[in-house]
Amino acid sequence: MTNDEETYLICAEVRDNDNVSMVPGTIQIACADCGRQVWCAPSGQRLLMSDEQTVIAVCNACGLKRMLEEEDEVEITIPPGAYGEISRALRQPPVP
């Protein structure tokens, strides 16, 4: 099953959050619009690989630009599993 609508995954830019990789398995990927490096946690990675919808990873600035240019209502949510990732990461000691 596929969905023709695009879903945007808003990701924090690496340059703004050099140590944001608090969630184990977080990787750096490129913003689809401008090419800046952004952080993508495992829940976002799973969403990007989904066969059920078209997901595009963008940085905060490009995501805001897309939302302002969008004529239809924009729905904002977090990927399934993200709450659990963040909760587990916050219970772990900081990584030096």
- Bridging pattern class, strands 54-59 and 37-40: unpaired
Per-residue pLDDT of 36-82, as tens digits, reads 999 899 999 999 998 888 899 999 999 999 889 888 877 777 888 88
In the numeric block, the tokens 């490009």 are attached to: 62
Domain boundaries in the chain?
6-80
- pLDDT reported for residue 81: 87
Structure tokens, 37: 């490096």
54 within 8 A of 6, measured Cβ to Cβ: yes
Q: What are phi and psi of 66, to 5 degrees?
A: -65, -40
The CA distance from 56 to 9, in Å, is: 6
Tokens 């695009």 correspond to 6
